[in-house]
Amino acid sequence: MLILSVSAGLLACLIGQSLGRPAVANADRSLKELQKARVDILTERVAMAKKAAKAGAGFTDEIRFWEERLAIASAEMDGKTAELRRIYERRLEAIKAAEQAAEKLHKVGSGSFAEVLEARYFRVETEIALARLK
């Protein structure tokens, strides 16, 4: 449920951002410039999530979601592989727990198999990210 909520929020943010700002289609931008732009965008998004939560229109999970994305982007930009590895390892632990919970709920008939597959997908994606760091 949280994943769907966050996905919907992300789509709304992407659409809102594209309507309010001119597109930057400069293929000559360096990797560092693009990474900095990503960090700037995520910093702004974290602030928006915090403001929404403070006003009662957002969720703490959404703040954590965007803060994690910001931490990953910052670590990538700064070349902090050890920090990136720690973030992915923490994420992997949380996803494994969510996957086990989804499987239990599915077995007793309270959860869907789609939720199990989503958790598995995010676990494998995180394992791939960790493998790329090695």
Pairwise CA distance, residues 85 & 130, whole Å: 6
Pairwise CA distance, residues 8 & 122, whole Å: 17
Tell me the pLDDT tens digit for each residue of 61-77.
999 999 999 999 999 99
Q: Is the pLDDT of residue 54 over 60?
A: yes
As a whole-number percent, the residues of the chain with pLDDT over 90 amount to: 75
Angle between the N-to-C axes of helices 81-107 and 113-133, in degrees from 0 to 180, rounded to the nearest 10 = 160
DSSP code for 79: T
DSSP code for 110: S
Tell me the pLDDT tens digit for each residue of 101-116.
999 999 999 999 999 9
What mean pLDDT do residues 19-43 have?
A: 79
Q: Is the pLDDT of residue 55 over 80?
A: yes
Burial 18-52 (b: 16+ CB within 10 A, else e): eeeeeeeeeeeeeeeeebeebbeebeebbebbbee
The domain ranges of the chain are 32-79, 81-134
CA 90 to chain CA centroid, Å, is 13
Q: Is the pLDDT of residue 15 over 70?
A: no
